[in-house]
Amino acid sequence: MPSFALSVETVFGDGCIAELGQRAKAKGYKHALIVTDPGIKAAGILDSIMASLDEQGVAHSVYDNVTPNPTVPEVDGGVAAMKDSGADFVIGVGGGSAIDAAKGVAITAAMGGETSKMYLFGAGTVPFPNQRKPLFAIPTTCGTGSEISPAAVITDPETHYKHLMLNCTPDVAILDPNLVAKMPAPITAATGMDALTHAIEAYVNPGNTPFTRMFATRAIQQISAHLRQAVNGPDRPGAIRHMLYAADIAGQSMSQGLGQVHGLSHVVSGRLGTAHGVANAILLSQVLEYHNEFLADQLLEIAPLMGINAHGMAAKQAAKEVVAQVRALRDEIKIPSKLSDPSVGMKESDVAQFVDDAQKSQGIFIAAPKAATAEDLAAIYKSAL
């Protein structure tokens, strides 16, 4: 039977980053490797993090060679930095890419393999690693849920496949709205749609449980109510605080699996370098529309969570309204509506390769919300062009 566990100690609140050093010291840690990206470092976001560590006498080194859609070589570089610095724990700071890279570093450094590729599900020789260095996760975006999820997504640049690395749930997640308040609007939009995708896919996933649906329900409500304000409203900081909470519980909701939106978008990101949230935002409406009749009863339940007055409405009509609402939200926050948009760059000639990639590398995702053939996947891609 499916089980559910809340295994991450989660700290939430304005200014809670000040507790980082105290919490690390209490656990006996001496030296942190901070894994992040150049933008986070340049923005000065690390200042309060390093100050908290300094106050408690916890040493720290920084590895900032992480890009969107982190790769095997980037993770391996972090492992080398950890060995060189003598760090005994890892802190991931940033969006999902930085936190996923930190997870990869924590696993590979503990397991002792020569490359992180060894520990990728579907590509490595040890698909279920059983050791990990202590890990803190500090998100600076509102969407990925990586701070509480048990997996990381790492790209193999040789194949362009995005693979999961499993068993890498952080020990502690620190959610400080002050670190997220200055997030650029385009990142807020993309990561917010990523969180909405997590919640909706988790809600309709065949493996859902009452617990995952509990989190998904609240996340859909919160995101639908606050994402527009978080992107371009007069009270962005207040809305972003709601979104940080919503993204975290959306992450909790996906413990029993996601679906075809993620499977297809991983291929887009792996091949084209597209931001994960942007690819999700484009594909979410298309997957829901393609399976509209199959999902009608569940989308009827989701409709009021998104602010749709579905009282007395037939399930099929409510399902169509949900798709329309997803598109309207995406358009209002200025995310491209098509994979063929120049900012994404997918062409119809790419479809066959992308479907092949999805079937070879995304089997854990493309089976939900219902089994899909190559023809089904191709039809969804073409509808998004």
Domain boundaries, the chain: 9-180, 185-383
Q: How far apart are the C-alpha atoms of 292 and 303, rounded to whole Å?
A: 13
Domain 9-180 carries which CATH code? 3.40.50.1970
Residue 86 DSSP label? T
Tell me the fold of 185-383: Dehydroquinate synthase-like, alpha domain (1.20.1090)
Nearest to 108 by CA among 118, 99, 95, 98: 118
> In sequence order, what E strands does the chain have?
9-12, 31-35, 59-63, 89-94, 135-139, 151-156, 161-166, 172-175
Phi-psi category of 15—alpha, beta or left, where left has phi over 0 and alpha has psi -120 to 50? Answer: left
Query: What is the 3-class SS of 203-214, one letter each residue?
Result: HHCCCCCHHHHH
- DSSP letter string over 165-208? EES---SEEEE-HHHHTT--HHHHHHHHHHHHHHHHHHHHSTT-
Domains 9-180 and 185-383 share a fold: no
The Cα-based distances of 230 to 147, 177, 185 in angstroms read 20, 12, 8
- Provide the 10 A C-beta neighbour count for residue 224: 21
pTM of the model: 0.95
pLDDT in 10s for each residue of the chain, 385 residues: 767 777 899 999 999 999 999 999 999 999 999 999 999 999 999 999 999 999 999 999 999 999 999 999 999 999 999 999 999 999 999 999 999 999 999 999 999 999 999 999 988 889 999 999 999 999 999 988 999 999 999 999 999 999 999 999 999 999 999 999 888 999 999 999 999 999 999 999 999 999 999 999 999 999 999 999 999 999 999 999 999 999 999 999 998 889 999 999 999 999 999 999 999 999 999 999 999 999 999 999 999 999 999 999 999 999 999 999 999 999 999 999 999 999 999 999 999 999 999 999 998 899 899 999 999 999 999 999 9
CB-based contacts of 28, cutoff 8 Å, min separation 6 = none
Are the CB atoms for 192 and 231 separated by under 8 Å?
Answer: yes
Burial class of residue 26 (count of CB atoms within 10 Å of its CB; 0-12, 13-18, 19+)? exposed
Residue 304 DSSP label? G
- Of the CA atoms within 13 Å of residue 141, those in its CB half-sphere come to 31
Q: How far apart are the C-alpha atoms of 199 and 305, rounded to whole Å?
A: 11
Q: How far apart are the C-alpha atoms of 307 and 309, rounded to whole Å?
A: 6
Residue 64 DSSP label? -
